[in-house]
Amino acid sequence: MLDRNAILRTKLTLLAGVLAGGLLVLSAGAQTASQVASPKPAASAPMHYHPDRFAGRAGKYYALVWGVNSLSVKWTESGEVIRFAYYVVDAEKAKALNDKKAQPVLIDPKAGVQLVVPSLEKVGQLRQSATPEAGKSYWMAFSNKGRLVKRGDHVDVVIGPFRAQGLVVD
């Protein structure tokens, strides 16, 4: 038979367990009630992951060899035009991209097409061909008649000796 002290210890241990469990339930319930009473303010916009377009060597390559960075290809004008843009960090090295004699071509191997910069009668080519200046952004527009190049496609841009490979169309 158990002695009185052992029984008393067992009862106290059980009572302590019940009380501890009850306190946990009460504190969890109180947190829920306070959260309902004062909801957190909603975030202004959801965060989306945007990886670095040219991580590591690729970004350094374009800056060191061609004097440009921040290359982008965008699907614009409801897909009828693909806009290629870049930022000049070294004007001397970037001259090849603005050379009027070099015919720019956008190649989409998935679609099997090569897009060119259209030339309009009164406007001329839809590209900037002035002498590049460091610290400025430049662009050119490729005609995407038939919308063969889609968002998410990986394309190459070739301008004379310059070639940017695997650019993603945004």
pLDDT of residue 167: 93
**Model confidence pLDDT, tens digit, residues 77-101:** 888 999 999 999 999 999 999 998 9
Domain boundaries, the chain: 1-36, 57-168
Helices (H), 38-159: 57-61, 91-94
Taking Cα atoms as reference points, which of 103, 112, 106 lies closest to residue 148? 112
What backbone torsions phi and psi does residue 166 show, to the nearest 5 degrees?
Answer: 70, 25
Residue 87 main-chain phi, psi, to 5 deg: -115, 130
Give the mean pLDDT of 96-123.
91
Residue 57: band (very low, low, confident or very high) from pLDDT cuts 50, 70, 90: confident
Q: Could you say which architecture CATH assigns to the domain 57-168?
A: Sandwich (2.60)
Residue 137 in contact with residue 89, Cβ under 8 Å?
Answer: no
**The model's pTM:** 0.67
Alpha-carbon span 107 to 60, nearest angstrom? 23
Return the pLDDT at 88: 96
Residue 53 pLDDT: 60
**pLDDT, position 47:** 63
